[in-house]
Structures are given as structure tokens and as C-alpha cells.
Amino acid sequence: MGLTHVTTRLSALIGSEAALEGEFQVDTGAIDCMAPAARLDRAGIRPEGKAVYELADGSVVEYAYGYAKVSFMGSETVTQVIFGPDDCEPLLGAVALENVGIAVDPATRTLRRLAAKPLK
């Protein structure tokens, strides 16, 4: 999509006051969110399983994933988050955006809240 960033906070579903907060790159080509594994661990987010992912360069890798509360632009949802390499840039994926009714204008690379989430 380009290089749009949004301040995002990830936290464990239960049992932890810690959180991971920072600028996440909005990536509509990614289904799930991703953050460095060590930072997710410090935030109390734990792996729940593993899945195979295809990267932008076409390579295929296996990463652990877990579940987190994701807060951005005044909204909150729960989504799957990938435990990425410790040097990866945090990504805000399409599922989190759609869950809270945020659309991306590809021409201006801006985020906007939908008046209503589509249910058709």
C-alpha cells in the first residue's frame, strides 16, 4: 500500500498490564498484524500456534502467532498477531483495519473511518 504509519498498541487478552506501543506500518497486503517476537513476549502476548506465510519477495516462512487486543485510531479489536523476527517493522494488517471499519484511500494513502461497516 505504501508507507502509511499509525500509532498502535498491542496487549495481551488477559492477565497483563504490559503493552507494545509504537508506529506500525499499515499493510493492506498482509492479512495479520506482525511485531518483533521479543517485544510481543515483553507485552505478555504468548504464541498459540504456527502458520506458514508468504513474504513480499515470494519466499515462504513459518512463524508463530498469538492473539492480542489491538488499539489504534480510537478503536479496539482482537486479532491474530505474528511473532516476527526481532528486527522486523511492526505491521498493521487488513483484518485489524476491517474489524474496526477503517478504510485506506490508495491514492492519498490516508486512513478514514467508514460511516458504517459493510454487512452485505
For the chain, residues with pLDDT lower than 70 are 1-3
What is the reported pLDDT for 2?
53
Residues pairing with 103 in the sheet: 112
CATH of domain 5-113: 2.40.70.10
pLDDT tens track for 75-105: 999 999 999 999 999 999 999 999 999 988 8
**Summary mean pLDDT of the chain:** 92
Q: Which three cell numbers stand for residue 71?
A: 488499539
Distance CA 2, CA 75 (A): 22
What is the reported pLDDT for 111?
87
Residues pairing with 111 in the sheet: 104
Phi, psi of 15 (to 5 degrees): 80, 15
Q: Domain spans of the chain?
A: 5-113
Say if pTM beats, i.e. exceeds, 0.85.
yes
Distance CA 81, CA 70 (A): 9
